[in-house]
């Protein structure tokens, strides 16, 4: 297996489980992960996962012990992923808030997450956005269309049911598996159609 260099950004949209699970799987499979977590995402970790985020270093150290992970703050513009000269294999924003999606669509580059996404687009590399919002208004849809037209892949957090999921983890793994498919990363997170 060839190790890939993947940037994972977790924003404050509901669905922190998707970002956490994607990071876990990439690390378990031996890939190098550049992780970014927005301030709002830390709040969602507390609300949705029940994590004690008062000591974030403990959470980050646990992840670093489980694989090849580099953590970057949103202000770390010296991070390798801020430059097109760094050979990143792709980036996933999961879950992707509509505010983050809008900033990326308009080339804001106000923080490392937005800059790294801009780098992926300008270099023609894989950028995957996993929006988790409903209902979608016209602005959301126009921003997604704009990004799709310039090469980003939009994978909404919409699990399938043909594989007969039995648990919440099965539903999460379906979405994470679709992301991994689009990164070119092998996995066995769900039973494929026809298998």
pLDDT interval class at 191 (50, 70, 90): confident
pTM: 0.96
End-to-end CA distance of the chain: 23
Burial class (CB in 10 A: 0-12, 13-18, 19+), 173: buried
- Which residues are CB-neighbours of 71 under 8 A, at least 6 positions away? 35, 36, 37, 60, 63, 64
pLDDT of residue 154: 98
Token code pair at residue 180? 């991994």
Token code pair at residue 123? 């270099």
Nearest Cα to Cα of residue 3 among 31, 22, 44, 33 = 31
Task: Name all domains of the chain by residue range, CATH numbers in brackets.
Answer: 5-183 (3.40.50.1950)
Query: Which own/partner pairs from 173-176 qualify as long-range (CB within 8 Å, at least 24 positions apart)?
Result: 173/21, 175/18, 175/130, 176/18, 176/21, 176/22, 176/25
| Of residues 119 and 194, more confidently modeled | 119
Token code pair at residue 59? 């959470």
Quick: pLDDT tens for 14-23: 999 999 999 9
Nearest Cα to Cα of residue 111 among 161, 158, 76 = 76
- E strand or H helix at 148, and its extent? helix 138-149
Lowest mean pLDDT across 32-36, 62-66, 82-86, 128-132: 62-66
Strand order in the sheet with 69-72: 69-72, 32-37, 5-10, 90-96, 127-131, 153-154
d(CA 44, CA 27): 22
């Amino acid at each position: 297996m060839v190790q890939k260099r993947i940037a994972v950004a977790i924003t404050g949209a509901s669905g922190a489980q998707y970002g956490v699970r994607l990071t876990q799987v990439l690390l378990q499979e031996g890939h190098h992960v550049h992780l970014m977590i927005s301030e709002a995402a830390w709040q969602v970790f507390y609300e949705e996962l029940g994590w004690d985020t008062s000591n974030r270093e403990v959470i980050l150290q646990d992840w670093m012990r489980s694989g090849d992970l580099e953590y970057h703050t949103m202000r770390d513009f010296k991070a390798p992923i801020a430059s097109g000269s760094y050979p990143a294999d792709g980036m996933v924003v999961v879950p992707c808030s509509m505010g983050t999606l809008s900033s990326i669509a308009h080339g804001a580059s106000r923080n490392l997450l937005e800059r790294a996404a801009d780098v992926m687009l300008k270099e023609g590399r894989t950028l995957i956005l996993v929006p988790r919002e409903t209902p979608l208004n016209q602005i959301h849809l126009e921003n997604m269309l704009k990004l799709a037209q310039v090469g980003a892949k939009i994978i909404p957090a919409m699990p399938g049911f043909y594989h007969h999921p039995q648990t919440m983890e099965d539903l999460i793994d379906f979405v994470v598996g679709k992301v991994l498919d689009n990164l070119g990363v092998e996995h066995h997170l769900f039973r494929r159609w026809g298998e």
